[in-house]
């Protein structure tokens, strides 16, 4: 205290008053900001925050749909659904974390389902993701959503599921979740057609999540029908809105659920019994061939059977095959890696996805083009002395520079076929005939022009390949066809310059005319060509789907063949290729010659397919032996000039006058088609008619009224 008593200096009062005013302003601003914030939350952004709150407490649960099944044309099950038991652990329902009681529960469960309790697992699942120990899976689920069940083991045995359910009192938080999984009763017999299912990979995660799939729960089709018809088979997922608390625990449901819609089922065109006969015929022939040579000369082949009038595929075998049942419940990683890395590529469907030189079965296309273009007449005879020499245009006076083209018969007999017309050219498979009509021929010794100019020529031959559908997708419902880079190689000058950097030669045309050189096709494409010939110029789209059936068993999409009349195609396309000249309309006569040539191959002396004849049904056919030099043959030093290895081909149909079945058989590195591929196709045709006759008898017996009891009075 000073002598002024309690008097406060005026400056100090002003300072305190200023501080008070600042404090009042801060308080006022705080209340203003708070009021503005409340106004914003309650009025302006009310709906946004309500939506966020709802998002935190509301959840939409996906309800899986029942996947459609797949059956063959006669109702044999090819892909069905069966119940499977998954073991789940709900972390929030376990005893206290890290307590002795929790460890006791997890240790017991670990022993029951044979999963390590802790530590790092040096294994990966089918997606390549490292697998986890039981404790790691539980702790991960605990940190994300403790009230959500964690699947710790899929597809346990029925016995293990019963033990867990019976001992639930001692296994709190552990439960069994029954789910539907796929089963493939016919396994390797139809695996290339049916495919398999697997988990959704990261590559497709976004796409399938948008459709309602749950990544860790749902599986999708891979390959075959499972892939192609995924949208049909899968159905539509249902939805249920639920309320969860902050821990993720389900509190209640809201409203009625949107029920799932079951997927459609498929009835295929395949006849499983014929499929089995075809696979057995192919496998037996491969074994017989390897036994004969006392070494492994081949392990690959294809057989396809179809109804040429409708395009229905009755059997399709690609050998070797794989067991899709090993992928039905969960991917068998070790087995998958085994078949994936196998150089024989058993996962790959060779029937639709592999290109091979067709050899002499291709002659039906060349002959059709030659006769339609008027290069020669059906009756015109071409001389086959066994070989011809093509003069080197750069060294015309040096015979040593000529290129020799040999007929297959000269290799065995030392001579040729003599004079050959169109029918016999096909029946005897005369190579020299096709050299000459394909690329033209002038005798170098006397200058006699036997086939003028360039014959059919490579440009028009390529055009006829396109007319037969080569180079285009056949439309078969299999992904393997869509995944190959080329659907056939249709060679020509531009193609050769672009790919090989070389000019086209007459020799290239000669080779192409009988399906060699650069010409390649898939087995299915050549069957398609055969079907068109057998069906008198009507091409049918090959199909595997006969009916689409709903969950109540009603057919929602029946079978309707898709036809293309080659006459209509030629009528439209001919003028552009032939200087605006109209199509002369000669296909009926041409196809009659081709058909008669194929029939003669089975019936006349010297026919290459005599062994294909069946006593009870007339058969028409064409053999093929196609030399090749691919990467495999080259690596084995098999591509020796003049003695290349060869594939075996045969294609045929029956009955000749009214075809019901067409078959193509192919054996990789099989050698002569008449000796190796022909017996396979003949067995399949025979099996078709035997099965048909047996079923007719069975049906007749089933329709016969039961005998009435005799009155003993």
Q: Where are the domains of the chain?
A: 56-76+185-266, 85-181, 272-696
- CA-nearest of 488, 237, 241 to 356 is 488
Geometric angle at alpha carbon 562, from 557 and 567, rounded to 5°: 165
pLDDT, mean of residues 566-580: 94
DSSP structure class, residue 200: P
Interval 341-395: pLDDT, tens? 888 999 999 999 999 999 999 999 999 999 999 999 999 999 999 889 887 664 4
At residue 149, the pLDDT reads 87
Residue 710's pLDDT band (cuts 50, 70, 90): very low
- The C-alpha atoms of residue 517 and residue 670 are separated, in whole angstroms, by 18
pLDDT of 712 higher than 60: no
pLDDT of 713 higher than 50: no
Helix or strand run (H / E) with residue 483: none
Domains 56-76+185-266 and 272-696 are alike in CATH topology: no
In order of 140, 385, 481, the CA distances from 100 in angstroms are 19, 95, 59
Q: Report helix, strand or coil for 150.
A: strand
DSSP structure class, residue 312: B
Neighbouring residues of 393: CB distance < 8 A, sequence distance ≥ 6: none
Q: What percent of the chain lies above the pLDDT cut of 90?
A: 57
Q: How many CB atoms lie within 10 A of CB 463?
A: 20
Which region among 113-117, 401-405, 450-454, 523-527 has the lowest average model confidence (pLDDT)? Answer: 401-405
pTM strictly above 0.75 = yes
At residue 668, the pLDDT reads 96
Q: Report helix, strand or coil for 255.
A: strand
User: Cβ distance 557 to 548 under 8 Å?
Assistant: yes
In the predicted model, what is the mean pLDDT of the chain?
A: 87
Which region among 8-17, 69-78, 567-576, 626-635 has the lowest average model confidence (pLDDT)? Answer: 8-17
At residue 708, the pLDDT reads 46
Tally of helices (H runs) and strands (E runs) in the chain: 25, 25
DSSP structure class, residue 615: T
At residue 600, the pLDDT reads 97
DSSP structure class, residue 67: P
At residue 639, the pLDDT reads 79
Interval 9-19: pLDDT, tens? 656 566 667 77
413: phi then psi, degrees, rounded to nearest 5: -110, -15
pLDDT, mean of residues 147-170: 89
- CA-nearest of 184, 557, 521 to 353 is 521
Q: Which class would CATH give 272-696?
A: alpha beta
CATH number of 56-76+185-266: 3.90.1310.10
pLDDT, mean of residues 616-620: 97
């Amino acid at each position: 205290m000073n002598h002024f008593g309690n008097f406060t200096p005026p400056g100090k009062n002003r300072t305190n008053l200023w501080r008070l005013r600042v404090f009042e302003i801060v308080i006022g601003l705080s209340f203003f900001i708070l009021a503005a914030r409340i106004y914003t939350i309650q009025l302006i952004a009310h709906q946004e925050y309500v939506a966020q709150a709802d998002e935190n407490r509301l959840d939409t649960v996906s309800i899986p749909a029942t996947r459609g099944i797949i059956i063959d044309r006669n109702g044999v099950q090819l892909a069905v659904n069966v119940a499977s038991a998954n073991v789940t652990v709900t972390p929030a329902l376990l005893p206290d974390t890290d307590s002795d009681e929790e460890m006791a529960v997890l240790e017991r469960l670990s022993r029951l389902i044979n999963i390590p309790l802790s530590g790092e697992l040096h294994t990966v699942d089918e997606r390549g993701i490292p697998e986890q120990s039981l404790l790691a899976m539980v702790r991960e689920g605990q940190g994300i959503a403790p009230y959500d069940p964690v699947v710790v083991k899929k597809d346990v045995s029925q016995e293990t599921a019963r033990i867990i359910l019976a001992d639930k009192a001692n296994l709190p938080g552990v439960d069994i979740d029954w789910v539907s999984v796929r089963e493939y009763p016919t396994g390797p017999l139809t695996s290339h057609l049916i495919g398999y299912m697997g988990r959704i990979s990261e590559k497709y995660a976004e796409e399938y999540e948008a459709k309602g799939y749950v990544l860790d729960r749902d599986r999708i089709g891979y390959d075959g029908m499972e892939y192609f018809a995924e949208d049909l088979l899968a159905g539509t997922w249902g939805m249920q809105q639920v309320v969860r608390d902050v821990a993720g625990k389900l509190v209640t449901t809201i409203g009625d659920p949107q029920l799932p819609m079951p997927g459609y089922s498929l009835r295929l065109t395949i006849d499983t019994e014929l499929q089995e006969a075809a696979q057995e015929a192919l496998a037996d022939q491969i074994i017989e061939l390897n036994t004969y040579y006392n070494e492994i000369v081949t392990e690959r082949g294809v057989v396809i059977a179809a109804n040429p009038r409708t395009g229905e595929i009755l059997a399709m075998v690609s050998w070797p095959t794989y067991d899709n049942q090993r992928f039905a419940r969960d991917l068998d990683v070790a087995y998958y890696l085994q078949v994936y890395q196998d150089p024989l590529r058993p996962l790959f469907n060779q029937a639709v996805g592999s290109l091979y030189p067709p050899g002499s079965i291709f002659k039906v296309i060349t002959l059709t083009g030659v006769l339609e273009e008027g290069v020669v007449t059906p009756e015109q005879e071409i001389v086959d002395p066994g070989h011809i020499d093509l003069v080197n245009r750069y060294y015309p006076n040096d015979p040593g520079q000529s290129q020799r083209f040999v007929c297959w018969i000269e290799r065995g007999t030392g001579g040729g076929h003599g004079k050959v017309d169109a029918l016999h050219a096909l029946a005897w498979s005369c190579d020299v005939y096709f050299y000459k009509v394909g690329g033209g021929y002038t005798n170098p010794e006397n200058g006699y022009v036997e086939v003028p100019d360039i014959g059919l020529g490579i440009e028009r031959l390529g055009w006829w390949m396109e007319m037969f559908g080569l180079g285009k997708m056949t439309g078969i419902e299999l992904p393997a066809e869509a995944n190959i880079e080329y659907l056939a190689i249709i060679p020509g000058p531009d193609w050769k310059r672009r790919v090989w950097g070389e000019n086209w030669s007459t020799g290239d045309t000669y080779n192409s005319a009988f399906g060699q050189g650069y010409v390649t096709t898939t087995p299915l494409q050549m069957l398609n060509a055969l079907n068109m010939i057998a069906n008198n110029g009507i091409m049918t789209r090959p199909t595997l789907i006969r009916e689409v059936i709903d969950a109540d068993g009603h057919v929602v999409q029946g079978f309707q063949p898709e036809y293309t009349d080659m006459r209509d195609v030629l009528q439209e396309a001919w003028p552009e290729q032939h200087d605006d000249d109209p199509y002369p309309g000669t296909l009926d006569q041409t196809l009659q010659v081709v058909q008669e040539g194929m029939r003669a191959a089975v019936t006349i002396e010297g026919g290459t397919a005599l062994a294909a004849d069946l006593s009870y049904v007339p058969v028409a056919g064409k053999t093929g032996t196609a030399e090749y030099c691919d990467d495999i043959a080259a690596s084995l030093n098999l591509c020796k000039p003049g003695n290349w290895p060869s594939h075996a081909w045969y294609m045929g149909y029956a009955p000749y006058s009214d075809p019901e079945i067409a078959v193509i058989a192919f054996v990789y590195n099989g050698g002569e088609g008449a000796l190796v591929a022909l017996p396979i196709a003949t067995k399949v045709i025979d099996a078709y008619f035997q099965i048909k006759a047996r079923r007719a008898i069975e049906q007749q017996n089933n329709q016969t009224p039961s005998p009435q009891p005799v009155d003993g009075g």
